Structure 1
Amino acid sequence: MSKFGTLVMGPAGAGKSTFCTALIQHLQSNKRPCFYVNLDPAAEDFSFEPDLDIKDLISLEDVMEEMSLGPNGGLIYCFEFLMENLDFLTDPLEEVTDEYLIIFDMPGQIELYTHVPILPDLVRTLMRGSLNINMCAAYLLEATFVIDRPKFFSGTLSAMSAMMMLEMPHVNILSKMDLIKGQVAKRDLKRFVNADVELLDDDPSRRKEDEEEEKKGYEDPASTKSLMSGSSFHKLNKAVAQLIDDFSMVSFLKLDVQDEDSVGAVLSYIDDAIQFHEAQEPKEPKDEYLESVMEG
């Protein structure tokens, strides 16, 4: 029988742990069990104590101190160590039943999702074999990225890279929507949700840069300022955005963790992706009555 889970990932500061907390609260209020797994060896504070914590096996702080590694190298070492000691993860998950949603809280280094094969190997282990977990990746991108359009498309490219690398059902989420309330027109926001390439041409800051370029005249194209603005920079961003558009893979859900309906809507997409409800046994009315009596 299948198990069900979601891999919560994205760049540092995207609100992954906050989303995990909101998701657990929502599940608890709907009397639905979950199993919380922390796979971030650098995480310290938790609103809900993890049912399984990678730091009980290995911590990033210890690795950096003992192996003289930096944060990225240390993180990769932690995951290599986890892959060598997979029973730490797989044995407890064997006991989890199909009624549970397994929530994997991942680190924020995007190199782990886009550059190295460790995470794809881990995903294959979890989704195949005796565990047979139906899993969906929930990739979070901070909504404030939409204020800087090139930055938004850079983040969207990282989401697409993760989708292609992991080869699993994927839900992309614009988190922290409350932070941009009133800053972006609803019409524009719809275009961000669907990653519209033409957003770059309609960028007000782009038009302002063009006007400034015309006034200044010649500038050294090799200077840092020229590289990070102007026509060359715009062409690079257009090429990135066109690549995203050609694949037509990335669209986003909007998330405000303070709004329970918003959390519930994202969860419904995750459930659809992992086919959670299709696998649940229908309950007889008398069973539901007995449960409510026992809980009351």
Structure 2
Amino acid sequence: MVFGQVVIGPPGSGKTTYCNGMSQFLKLIGRKVAVINLDPANDALPYECAVNIEELVKLSDVMIEHSLGPNGGLVYCMDYLEKNIDWLQSKLEPLLKDHYLLFDFPGQVELFFLHSNAKSVITKLIKKLNLRLTAVHLVDAHLCSDPGKYVSALLLSLSTMLHLELPHINVLSKIDLIESYGKLAFNLEYYTDVQDLSYLQYHLDQDPRSAKYRKLTKELCEVIEDYNLVNFTTLDIQDKESVGNLVKLIDKSNGYIFASIEGSAVEYSKIAAGPIDWDYYRTAAVQEKYMKDDENFENDD
């Protein structure tokens, strides 16, 4: 059985940086890692990839040949990959014996909550190669500073979770830059735990553009709360504790820790001294580390 991550998220959320940092971290704790680039628009890779979709299809060629824009071109590329899944399978088979896999997907969000091609690619790989994958959905932490964008991020996260049907972890990336985005209306735990969204209504009403959609926003927030599926963990890709905590969550979600308990214990001992503590990197500690004091909040829930 082979374990790995499906790395997804909107453009600019830090997927490629994440794959680079995560692969380095996993290698440091003793895992053999293979990064698979499935983003045909990613032409400046900071990591060494074991498989590159550009060997099969290039976005620039597709756009020229079929007179498509970037979005249409990416959909075409995913369709082409789905139809040529045997190519990807043959590339992955030599890695299955002893590698942990990181799949770096495109940032076009429609591929993961609307179109079926990316889901079909993932599903076929899982069935054919006996993979155990967790979807790691990155969302830029700056969205927390804008209530409207935060609600949009929640809807995107929920839609993606329901569409992909994978073990799923939502991540507020770039948490180390949270202060530079402006004041948060509430403390960080409110945004990670996705607490009572009615508290956002006042802040949404302050923006004339949002106020006219008050009823729609209220209904959307109720949908999110009714499903009660979305929450977030935080990530600073340059912080060992932050990355280590995320690795533990991922390993628990896809079963890696249960398949290799002894090996996992050795790996986790390299992350932090002492016994394994799944909650050692709590939201309160993250807030204390990256936010100087309570003056960063407009008010507290």
| 1:102-141 paired onto structure 2 within 5 Å | 102-129=101-128, 131-141=129-139
Q: Unmatched 5+ residue regions in structure 1?
A: 210-225, 284-296
Residue pair 1:172, 1:251 contacting (<8 A) in 2 also:
yes
Distance 1:109 1:187 in 2: 30
- Say if 1:114 and 1:185 are closer, same or farther in 2 by CA, change over 3 A: closer
Distance 2:185 2:5 in 1: 29
1:276 aligned residue: 256
The structural deviation recorded for 1:120 is 1.7
Q: Tell me if 1:257 matches 2:260.
A: no
Q: Tell me if 1:245 matches 2:225.
A: yes
Q: Tell me if 1:144 matches 2:142.
A: yes
2:78 aligned residue: 79
The structural deviation recorded for 1:47 is 1.6
Distance 2:137 2:15 in 1: 9
Query: Could you state the TM-score of these two structures normalised by the residue count of structure 1?
Result: 0.83
Residue pair 1:3, 1:96 contacting (<8 A) in 2 also:
no
Q: Unmatched 5+ residue regions in structure 2?
A: 264-301
Residue pair 2:81, 2:121 contacting (<8 A) in 1 also:
no
Q: CA RMSD in A?
A: 1.8
The structural deviation recorded for 1:198 is 2.7
- Say if 1:199 and 1:46 are closer, same or farther in 2 by CA, change over 3 A: farther
Please give the per-residue CA displacement for 1:245-277, whole angstroms capped at 9, x wherever unaligned.
Answer: 100010000011121110111111111111112
Q: Tell me if 1:235 matches 2:215.
A: yes
Distance 1:141 1:64 in 2: 28
Distance 2:24 2:4 in 1: 16
The structural deviation recorded for 1:184 is 4.7
Q: Which amino acid aligns with 1:238?
A: K
- Say if 1:27 and 1:37 are closer, same or farther in 2 by CA, change over 3 A: same
After superposing the two structures, state which structure 1 stretch, 178-187 or 9-18, moved more.
178-187
Distance 1:81 1:174 in 2: 31
After superposing the two structures, state which structure 1 stretch, 234-243 or 183-192, moved more.
183-192
The structural deviation recorded for 1:127 is 1.2
Please give the per-residue CA displacement for 1:188-228, whole angstroms capped at 9, x wherever unaligned.
Answer: 2101001221331352x63x45xxxxxxxxxxxxxxxx5x2
The structural deviation recorded for 1:28 is 1.6
1:212 aligned residue: none
Please give the per-residue CA displacement for 1:110-141, whole angstroms capped at 9, x wherever unaligned.
Answer: 01011111122112101113x01001100011
Q: Tell me if 1:199 matches 2:180.
A: no
The structural deviation recorded for 1:44 is 1.2
Q: Which amino acid aligns with 1:24?
A: S
Distance 1:186 1:3 in 2: 42
Aligned residue among 165, 168, 174 for 2:166: 168
2:295 aligned residue: none
Distance 1:25 1:62 in 2: 32
Distance 2:112 2:45 in 1: 23
Residue pair 2:148, 2:210 contacting (<8 A) in 1 also:
no
Q: Give 3-state SS (helix, strand or coil) of 1:108's partner.
A: coil
Distance 2:202 2:193 in 1: 15
2:291 aligned residue: none
Query: Could you state the TM-score of these two structures normalised by the residue count of structure 2?
Result: 0.82
How many pairs are equivalent?
Answer: 261
Q: Give 3-state SS (helix, strand or coil) of 1:6's partner.
A: strand
Please give the per-residue CA displacement for 1:270-295, whole angstroms capped at 9, x wherever unaligned.
Answer: 11111112222747xxxxxxxxxxxx
Larger radius of gyration: 1
